[in-house]
Amino acid sequence: MTDKKSARMRIDMALIVKIRKRLDNFELNTDIQTDDDILALSGASGAGKTMILKCIAGIATPDSGYISLNGRVLFDSEKKINLKEKIKKKDTIIN
């Protein structure tokens, strides 16, 4: 595999999360970019880990920012893209 093709594949497999969301006690400001298969979020209780996952899943909406997964834009506040409603209609979320 050529380096150019390998780089393109990594971009297509990427998770990009650059969001802001105002919570009760603080403003969550996240900047995550990874092309790894596994991502771990760590932090103190109440630090916003679950909120980040909810925003990625489309359960919660960020106040602003950008989320893309595997090259597909899930949320972009500037372009007014939010796939939250489509995700809820198609998939069942089990807690």
State the pLDDT confidence band at 95, using cuts at 50, 70 and 90: very low
Per the CB < 8 A criterion, the answer to whether 20 and 63 are in contact is yes
Cα(64)–Cα(77) distance, rounded to whole angstroms?
A: 5
pLDDT in tens, 16-34: 999 999 998 899 999 999 9
pTM, rounded to two decimals: 0.73
pLDDT in tens, 34-62: 987 788 999 999 999 999 999 999 999 99
